[in-house]
Amino acid sequence: MAEELNAVIVSIEYRLVPKVYFPAQIHDVVHATKYFLQPEVLHKYSVDPDRIGISGDSAGGNLAAAVGQQFSQDANLKDKLKVQALIYPVLQALDFNTPSYQQNVNTPILPRYVMVKYWVDYFQGNYDFVQAMIVNNHTSLDVEEAVALRARLNWTSLLPASIKKDYRPVMQTTGDARIVREIPQLLDARAAPLIAEQEVLRHLPKTYILTCEYDVLRDDGIMYAKRLESAGVEVTLDHYEDGFHGCMIFTSWPTNFSVGIRTRNSYIKWLDQNL
């Protein structure tokens, strides 16, 4: 990226679980980004202050999206980012039965059970909740705190028919309200950027979102693209029918997969044209 874009690339080494838990990771990336945006720091690295973007893949895509939203609400930081580029981002923990979660429930690299456990790890929650969360008991109709937020990721309206296919929503009438009481972070937009208010979304910069067919997170990215478009944000949704979660890292022999090379090249091309 640095060579092909002739750009300064900053990789933030944010702290990880179990050393720290949410929202410490958010604080790390926000703090580091604010530091880098100081005029003297930009000057030191010969960075054009009008050509700064933020990006991340998977969990990093979650953090990049969260930073973009925080900056969009800060009068001193609004418009500091020209673009955001999110690669198969993690964006919500309210519905683990979107079509992509159902379709790819046991797909390698990131099966659903593992993704739910990652969320519990992130919040230092109780593993006893995992099975209940898998069937959406944490956002059932009797969990009042979650009902309004679920409307913001209603995939029956946000996803195209080609994605929805014959899948049906999993909405429990009664569930386990204790889960969100003990892990309220599940309903925090800093952890789940997809559930942010429309007013927050409309101030975000031009956005690139890459999604893969064989990925439980596919629909998170597609729904976010739809919500951003509805908020007036210019969005490029780059979907790969032969893609899988993490495929962009497979670009070197002996795992130089075609889809890895194509996703990487498309991502860099978009940045070159828009940054």
Burial of 218 (0-12, 13-18, 19+ CB in 10 A): buried
Burial of 170 (0-12, 13-18, 19+ CB in 10 A): middle
Active site residue 58: yes
From 58, 72, 100, 140, the catalytic residue: 58
Measured distance between the N- and C-terminal CA atoms of the chain, rounded to whole angstroms? 12
Q: Hey, how many other C-beta atoms are within 10 angstroms of the C-beta on 108?
A: 10
Q: Could you give the residue numbers annotated as active site?
A: 58
